[in-house]
Structure 1
Amino acid sequence: MSKFDISFDSNGITLAGHLYRPDGAGPHPAVVVGHPGSGVKEQAAGLYARLLSEAGFVALAFDAAYQGESGGKPRGLEDPAQRVEDLKAAVSYLTTQSSVAADQINLLGICASGGYGLAAAATDHRVRRLATVSAADIARVFRLGADGTQDPAVFQGLLDHAAAVRTAEARGEAEQDLTLFPDTIEQARELGGEHGAEGFDYYRTPRGEHPRSAGTMPWSSVDRMATFDAFAAVPLLGSRPLLMVAGTRAVSAWMSVEAFQRATGPKELHWVEGASHVDLYDKPEYVVPVVAKLAEFFAAG
């Protein structure tokens, strides 16, 4: 297996990626791997891409526009429309590679990219098979909370603040960002329960932290996400196979269930016993068998 630094265009923005290529003559089947919200290609997406490459796939992990090593301003922006376009652009890039079998390109979305991947694959018929791991619709996370029980007033307050920030910036005041993580894991647990603490443990400790992983996002991300619905187009997957992987302890699992119920073609919801949402990012006891499941799924005719 070899890894290459690559770049490609997405709607006029240059994206940075890592292309993992298996040994042996091609062309090989391929997988685009999308990273979680606030993540970068060196974290969960890169781990899955490397392991899939070792299983015989060309795998592409990349930084979303405005994030990581990719271009675009303002930095850290979470724009659902652009994130969907990024995944389609990654598919386009793979179609240009002689090492890739262009009719065997698949998509894997992790966390927020699971939601974005559903929207991208639904309308891009070049995607042969779609899989998600700990799928999340980031708009639902902000509107309803990771567990789906958030008081609607919370999101209304976020929209109030996003509107005020837009006005302030229009008047020339300094740009303001929304902080994604508090200062300590105790604060993260108080604000977001065990799910919040798990996110902190992955993104803000040596376990998974990376200097380019976003700790903030522009407030304009909030109203961009407000009306996005990652699951609306799921029926458009039609007869293309769907595999959704979720942990039995994941507070976000309700989103995988909801999306799964909307799919009308061949589908499987694969439960990982004892795993939380974030466990599936990097813990070998969960990731290794999940990758074996994914490899079997993507290799199927």
Structure 2
Amino acid sequence: MKQIWKNIPATMAICLCVSGSLMAQVKPLEKDSFMEKRLNLTEEWDKTFPKSEKVDHAKVTFHNRYGITLAADLYVPRDVEGKFPAIAVSGPFGAVKEQASGLYAQTLAERGFLVLAFDPSYTGESGGEPRYVASPDINTEDFCAAVDYLATRDEVDENRIGILGICGFGGFALNAAAIDTRIKATVASTMYDMSRVTANGYFDGTDADARYELRRQLNAQRTEDYKNGTYALAGGVADPLPEDAPQFVKDYHAYYKTPRGYHKRSLNSNGGWNKTSSLPFINMPILAYSNEIRSAVLLIHGEKAHSRYFSEDAFKTLQGPNKELLIIPGATHVDLYDNPEAIPFDKLEQFYKEYLK
């Protein structure tokens, strides 16, 4: 099986990881029209999970320091007063807020937190042109921008803000925690290190010659894209599945390509990222300073996940007594997207309550 993983191109790694009463209670922030663009946000409940009656929900927008306007779902505990501890959630890599991140957000709101689930720059309902671009810097900045937004809401205690990243956004969450001292607690669930897997392939099976060839192909693609005036897509999760597909690819298909997790705006459910999005990840390791994170970190991974080594290796670099690695027995990578029997919400609640107090 490892040999099969080694034969999967590094670019494929990017593709695989692939309203109500609140509006009367929570007023939108006043925004400078120069900083923020109007987005066309759907008002329908188009999530892959049912709506909770325990929380209020509203669509909101905020902007990052690159001037990109991001779309988000805000979940607030119903009939609770006072300042809230807040959490910003995003991921998986190539997913949208209507999928796993929204499920995490709504469930944590049921447990007393104000939670923002956002679409990253260039994806989903968020702004940014061209579409379907991934960036180690901008996607880290998206988390910091979410903290900007939460810290300026009247209902939020700005000294009690945490973040949560799923899959590839678990790596971005760690990078954000390393740079943003306002973040008091970080969770990375079923984490991918997108820089490592893009540059080195699965289980670090790619050598310098293979990396050079990848760079050559992607730079040739840049030329073609410029000539054509379009950006070629790498493709989402394979459909139909090849006969020799590894189990983890079958697991991705079972989530992104079936009614269980399919969403019309999800890159993984459809055409995937721009091919050339892989380029910056080859040269820009996102976890270089994770050993300098002083705030609390919880890494969660499935025992049977093909990606488990990303969290195990990241944990070895973390310093201090407020860092923890939790392995979920029997769980796969995708189980931590939406399986209520696998996602340790009790542990998440306890962790955030301890470090966002």
Using the alignment, how far apart are the partners of 1:38 and 1:63 within structure 2?
10
Please, what is the CA RMSD of the aligned residues? 1.6
Q: Indicate the residue corresponding to 1:199 in structure 2.
A: 252
**Match of residue 274 from structure 1:** 330
Distance 1:209 1:274, change over 3 A: same
**How far apart are residue 156 of structure 1 and its match?**
3.9
Number of positions where the alignment pairs a residue of Structure 1 with one of Structure 2: 295
Q: Which of the pair is proportionally richer in strand?
A: 1
Letter in 2 for 1:94: L
Deviation at 1:236, TM superposition (A): 1.8
User: What runs of 5+ residues in structure 1 fail to find an aligned partner?
Assistant: none
Listed one character per residue, the Cα deviations across residues 89-110 of structure 1 (whole Å, up to 9, x for unaligned) are 0000001111111100011111
Q: How does 1:14-29 map to 2 (within 5 A)?
A: 14-23=69-78, 24-29=80-85
1:23-64 CA-partner distances (Å, limit 9, x unpaired) = 200211111112111100011100000000000000110000
CA–CA separation in structure 1 for the residues paired with 2:57 and 2:202: 34
Q: Kindly report which structure 2 residues correspond to 1:45-124, keeping only aligned pairs within 5 A, or say none.
A: 45-124=101-180
Residue 45 of structure 1 aligns to a residue whose secondary structure is helix
SS at match of 1:130: strand
AA matched with 1:99 = E
Query: Following superposition of structure 1 onto structure 2, how do residues 1-301 of structure 1 map, counting pairs within 5 Å?
Result: 1-10=55-64, 11-23=66-78, 24-150=80-206, 155-172=211-228, 174-186=230-242, 190=245, 193-214=246-267, 215-238=271-294, 240-265=295-320, 266-287=322-343, 290-301=344-355
Q: C-alpha separation between the residues in 2 aligned to 1:219 and 1:128? A: 35
Q: Say if 2:188 and 2:298, in contact at 8 Å, map to a contact too.
A: yes
| Contact persistence 2:61–2:72 (CA under 8 A) | yes
Give 1:264's aligned amino acid. Answer: Q
The whole-number CA distance in structure 2 between the counterparts of 1:163 and 1:180 is 21
SS for the counterpart of 1:21 is strand
Distance in 2 (CA, whole Å) between partners of 1:153 and 1:61 is 39
Partners of 1:298 and 1:129 lie apart in 2 by 7
Once the 2 structures are TM-superposed, how far is the Cα of residue 296 of structure 1 from its aligned partner? Answer: 0.3
Shift in Å, 1:143: 2.4
Deviation at 1:186, TM superposition (A): 3.4
- Cα pair distance change 1:246/1:152, threshold 3 Å: farther
Shift of 1:197: 1.4
Extract unaligned runs of 5+ from structure 2: 1-54
Offset of residue 152 of structure 1: 5.9
Deviation track 1:51-98 (CA, whole Å, cap 9, x = no partner) reads: 000000001100000000001112111111110010000000001111
Write the distance in 2 (CA, Å) between the matches of 1:145 and 1:90.
30
* Alignment TM-score, normalising by the size of structure 1: 0.93
- Using the TM superposition, give the Cα deviation of residue 150 of structure 1 relative to its aligned residue in structure 2, in angstroms: 4.9
Q: Flag the 1:272–1:176 CA change in 2: closer, same or farther, 3 A.
A: same
TM-superposed deviation, 1:124:
0.3
Computing the radius of gyration over CA atoms, which structure comes out larger, 1 or 2?
2
Q: Distance in 2 between matches of 1:123 and 1:173?
A: 35
In the superposition, the TM-score normalised over structure 2's length comes to 0.79
SS at match of 2:283: coil
Q: What is the Cα deviation at residue 183 of structure 1?
A: 2.2
Partner letter of residue 186 of structure 1?
P
